Structure 1
Amino acid sequence: MLRPLDRHATELLRALTLIVLLACGFAGLTSHVANASSLRHSPVVKAVQKARPSVVNIQGRKTVRAEQVDAIGGDPFRQVNGMGTGIIIDPRGYILTNYHVVENVEVIHVTLEDKRDYIGHFISHDPVSDLAIIRIDAGEPLTVIDMGTSNDLMPGESVIAVGNAFGYEHTVTCGIISALHREVQVSATQRYRDLIQTDASINPGNSGGPLLNIDGQMIGVNVAVRVGAQGIGFAIPVDEALDIAARLLSAERIEQRTHGVVGRSHWREGNSALLVTTLKPASPASQAGLQPGDVILEVDEQTVRRPLDFERAVLGVANDRPVVLKIDRDGHEQIVELRLSKMQAGDLFEQMAWQILGFRLTPIPSAEFRKLNTRYRGGLRITEVRTDSAAAAQGIRSGDVLVGMHVWETISPENVRYILNHDDLDRFQPVKFYIVRGQETLYGHLRLDTPQVPQVARQTQGRG
């Protein structure tokens, strides 16, 4: 016999129904969250997670020239808090960043992704490309960023910028490559060539940070943003940045030791290696039997894909130990032992001129110089100009004769060495130079790549 449910039974049934509904609902929610977790772990997330340990934050106080000075004699300089980003390019703590990030910074503070703080030491810089290398001593190997290439970039390709935007560490922004091969003037003294343009947000503090592709590989170094515009930022292509980093981190520059290898990245079977293009005469490389056309695959079992890999591998090797090279010569692999040597006085001068002036010099015999019919007493012939140097931008050519710099004659290498080692060299910047070309005497102003950080900062408006 059917009976109506009493109040207690009705409440019990409602409670059981609610429990079943909640269980079904939570089961559905759990399934949804599980699915969302796998979907949320997108290629962008994977790329950022891969790169984050290799991105550092840089901060410090710097001295800049005041825009306005009181008529009664105010301080022409002022202190500002600088910030930027860096990229770990060697496990020993070598970090690539923009020169304007660390220029004039009194104490460089570096913070890793795990919040550990270190003091950074200035190593070298190139003001023309606006790149610099600093180093920290972390006491353990650091994670090096995965270095991609910029020779296959495509407009419309997805990219990711990571950096210390406005002091917010490890800020991530996404966008696309808007254009390639841009030329940008950011100040009267700084022009960038062949930049990547992106609409990924790049803000003050992003400078020196990586621009990544969707695989988490660095394809550029963030450097500038168009003031007053939205979605127009710029990055130095990674191939150019790392070739410059190879010079900044070379054994010649850091340790005054030479190997004599001159090479470039070479693509073979889908991968890059180091193609030897020439050897310096009487150098350790030529004595070891290396030849132009050889492809260097490994140095001490470390894979070599570009000049920076080679320089990193030989940097810090003990003087009494040779490095072991695995090379490919005409399709056959060979082993070659290379022992670096200390640079001689002549080599040191050549390296100093090449790095600071941007060209190579050789003396001219007096009899030959007199044929130029000039009022100058002597000069040095320019035999080669570095393509990415300020000298090249000023129009200096191979064959020109350097006859003076600032207020001094340049008759001999000793004259140039005196000028480059002068305590007040930074105050002379940009340095006036005089050259003889044919029957003409020409002059211009050259901003030198001085080994020390200048005391007067350049304007940084418009940079990230």
Structure 2
Amino acid sequence: MPVNNPRLNQLDRQLSASVAGQRTANRRRWLQGFSVACAAAVLGSSALSPLAPNIQASENRFTPLVRAIEAAKPSVVNIHGRKTVRAENASFGSDGMKQVNGMGTGIVFDPRGYILTNYHVVEGVSNIQVSMHNDRQAVAKLIAHDPKTDLAVIKIESDGPLKAVQFGTSCDLLTAEPVVAMGNAYGYEYTVTQGIISALHRTVQVSDEQKYQDLIQTDASINPGNSGGPLFNVDGDVIGINVAVRVGAQGIGFAIPIDEALDVAARLMSIERLEQQSHGIVGKTKCEPTQRTFVVSSVRRDSPGEVAALQAGDVITAIGERKIERALDIELALLGRKRTEDLPIEVLRSGNRLTTNIVLAPANGRGGKVALADRVWENLGLRLAPMDDTEFKTLNSRYRGGLAVQAVRPDSPASAQGIRRGDVLVGMHVWETVSLDNVSYVLDREDVNRQEPVLFYILRGSDTLYGHLRFAERTR
């Protein structure tokens, strides 16, 4: 039966929050520097800046903020591509798709070419084009994404290490502190805008399907193409990821706090997810006024972490040659390591510095679930999550259970049938779909003709809808 499948149109207009930034101490230093600069200008200073030796300008023009943004520029990339979206008037089961031009921004967070951006920037883009500050062009691959937080990781190949951006923290932000945004605004690459932090901890509902929590509000100029770009403080540290703008309003834009964004990035970059390897370390990033530390909260039994004698309360300060400050650092330090490598780990325990070693092991069970989820995504275009009994009972359905649709790939079989985020998949062919294993069972059935579409059932509100779903490819 026909139903509408609206896209996140507001996200297409989104953004890149911008604003020129600094914290209390930085603000004082900045103002002092400005006063000194003015005094020097009166005295007629004409020194050349080491940042731009060919420009005949006074040293005073190259403020700390100018230098910080210039230094950060190589870590910011511009993203372009064409994506397939459903037309607003398309109905359930129709092929009402259209091609639109997409653009956005991203930040390099690992020298191996890993880039953080908004998911809506790369969603449905089959050929993600990335351009860099030196006019280099590259094609990126989507590595992982989280539709709920609208974050994604993409990767480009490079002849050498890329410059990773310098991250700050969002745990000590101040209302009215200056900030700066950089992004691909309306296709004008490396546009820099400035403003202040207008408010903190905002909740923003941009559509029936997308709701953001705990955002930074800014009065920066927000334009299409800025989405996924950095929000800097005056030191050039990233404190937020620009994500949304209030349509119809002026000077109201939003960014995801960087501490929360990097926690999501840590999950997306999990070596268990990407390489089916395990370290068994569970912990969280602790934010303090002068530093961030990674504190172990637990260690899984029979895991490499347990073999390394790690304990709850340990502060991991380094793995190999990499300094550890966040959960993301743990994953990046272990990513790409062989299972035969014996890596030193430096730990602070009860004020004492200790050194131990860790050797990675194959992921048990969880890696298989991740692989199954990715298989369903590739074949059907659905990101599914199990629902507990209490949650499912609120739907007042006659079915025993179902899988919540968290995301739908626009160019997928599921998208072609009008399935959308928020639906609940309750059946395929003649079998129920209470777990991912049930979907896997259907994918593997020899008696399911891959040449013919498979009947499926979904719950949408109080309605039960059905359609016929084709597999993207024959599964093993």
The answer to whether the superposition gives a TM-score over 0.5 is: yes
Task: Note if 1:97 corresponds to 2:97.
Answer: no
1:386 — aligned with what?
Answer: none
CA contact (8 A) 1:159 1:212 kept: yes
Q: CA RMSD in A?
A: 3.9
The alpha carbon displacement at 1:239 in A equals 0.3
User: Which whole-Å CA distance do the structure 2 matches of 1:197 and 1:419 have between them?
Assistant: 46
Query: In structure 2, do the counterparts of structure 1 residues 416 and 33 end up closer, same or farther at CA, with 3 Å as the change threshold?
Result: same
The alpha carbon displacement at 1:345 in A equals 3.7
User: Which whole-Å CA distance do the structure 2 matches of 1:200 and 1:49 have between them?
Assistant: 19
Query: In structure 2, do the counterparts of structure 1 residues 248 and 49 end up closer, same or farther at CA, with 3 Å as the change threshold?
Result: same
Counterpart amino acid of residue 121 in structure 1 = K
User: Which whole-Å CA distance do the structure 2 matches of 1:189 and 1:74 have between them?
Assistant: 21
1:292 — aligned with what?
Answer: 312
2:126 — aligned with what?
Answer: 106
Query: In structure 2, do the counterparts of structure 1 residues 250 and 429 end up closer, same or farther at CA, with 3 Å as the change threshold?
Result: farther
- Secondary structure of the structure 2 residue equivalent to 1:83: strand
- Secondary structure of the structure 2 residue equivalent to 1:320: coil
The alpha carbon displacement at 1:43 in A equals 3.0
Query: In structure 2, do the counterparts of structure 1 residues 352 and 305 end up closer, same or farther at CA, with 3 Å as the change threshold?
Result: farther
1:414 — aligned with what?
Answer: 437
Alignment of 1:15-164 (within 5 A): 31=44, 33-34=46-47, 37-68=58-89, 76-164=96-184
CA contact (8 A) 2:425 2:457 kept: no
User: Which whole-Å CA distance do the structure 2 matches of 1:75 and 1:432 have between them?
Assistant: 21
Query: In structure 2, do the counterparts of structure 1 residues 415 and 174 end up closer, same or farther at CA, with 3 Å as the change threshold?
Result: same
Query: In structure 2, do the counterparts of structure 1 residues 267 and 199 end up closer, same or farther at CA, with 3 Å as the change threshold?
Result: closer
The alpha carbon displacement at 1:32 in A equals 5.6
The alpha carbon displacement at 1:376 in A equals 8.1
Alignment of 1:10-409 (within 5 A): 31=44, 33-34=46-47, 37-68=58-89, 76-267=96-287, 270-345=290-365, 348-349=368-369, 405-406=426-427, 408-409=431-432
**Max radius of gyration: which structure?**
1
1:4 — aligned with what?
Answer: none
Q: Please list every run of 5 or more consecutive structure 1 residues that lacks an aligned counterpart in the other structure.
A: 1-27, 363-373, 383-388, 391-402, 435-441, 446-451, 453-464
What fraction of aligned residue pairs are identical, expressed as a percent?
50
User: Which whole-Å CA distance do the structure 2 matches of 1:239 and 1:103 have between them?
Assistant: 23
TM-score (norm 2): 0.70
Larger RCO (CA under 8 A, 6+ residues apart): 2
- Secondary structure of the structure 1 residue equivalent to 2:58: helix
User: Which whole-Å CA distance do the structure 1 matches of 2:398 and 2:252 have between them?
Assistant: 51
The CA deviation string for residues 223-255 of structure 1, in whole angstroms up to 9 with x for no partner, is: 011111111110000000000000111101110
Counterpart amino acid of residue 199 in structure 2 = A
User: Which whole-Å CA distance do the structure 1 matches of 2:206 and 2:262 have between them?
Assistant: 22
The CA deviation string for residues 385-442 of structure 1, in whole angstroms up to 9 with x for no partner, is: xxxx99xxxxxxxxxxxx984454467773365479999xxx99996599xxxxxxx9
CA contact (8 A) 2:77 2:105 kept: yes
User: Which whole-Å CA distance do the structure 1 matches of 2:387 and 2:89 have between them?
Assistant: 41
1:397 — aligned with what?
Answer: none
1:370 — aligned with what?
Answer: none
User: Which whole-Å CA distance do the structure 1 matches of 2:254 and 2:425 have between them?
Assistant: 37
User: Which whole-Å CA distance do the structure 2 matches of 1:243 and 1:169 have between them?
Assistant: 28
Aligned residue pairs total: 377
- Secondary structure of the structure 2 residue equivalent to 1:67: coil
Query: In structure 2, do the counterparts of structure 1 residues 44 and 359 end up closer, same or farther at CA, with 3 Å as the change threshold?
Result: farther
User: Which whole-Å CA distance do the structure 1 matches of 2:386 and 2:366 have between them?
Assistant: 15
Counterpart amino acid of residue 121 in structure 2 = V
Query: In structure 2, do the counterparts of structure 1 residues 444 and 132 end up closer, same or farther at CA, with 3 Å as the change threshold?
Result: farther
